[in-house]
Structure 1
């Protein structure tokens, strides 16, 4: 399964990330470590995010965990920039 991903590391609930997409629409998913493994295994998984055609997208970590950001799109036509938002 081809996808772009970032291992964001461990974050507490409330941390926020801005995802800027250029070149294509995409499904942007924030997943805890267990759900990311289920995604890789082809099992059922849950994620926070949505199909996005407007950029930038802001995602908020809902609870403490180790997080991955997954972008499902045509990897050859999309550019993605991920930035943590600090208040």
Structure 2
């Protein structure tokens, strides 16, 4: 499974991240460590986000945890920038 990901580390609920997409539409997912592992294993998983064709995408961390952002645009080529808003 090809995807781009960022290990954000541990954040409190309310932290916000901005994802800039260039070159393709993509599914952008914010998920905790357990859900990311399920994603990697091909199991069912839950995430915050969705499919986006407009950028930037702003995602808010819903609760304290260790977080990952996953961008899945396969097979399209895409450039992605991720940054914390606040």
- With the length of structure 2 as denominator, give the TM-score of the two structures: 0.96
1:47-85 CA-partner distances (Å, limit 9, x unpaired): 000100000000000011100000001366200000101
Q: How many residues align?
A: 86
Tell me the equivalent position of 2:24: 24
> Tell me, which stretches of 5 or more residues in structure 2 are unaligned?
none
Tell me the equivalent position of 2:65: 65
- 1:41-80 correspondence runs (5 A): 41-74=41-74, 77-80=77-80
Structure 1 runs, 4 residues or longer, greater than 6 Å off: none
- With the length of structure 1 as denominator, give the TM-score of the two structures: 0.95
> Tell me, which stretches of 5 or more residues in structure 1 are unaligned?
none
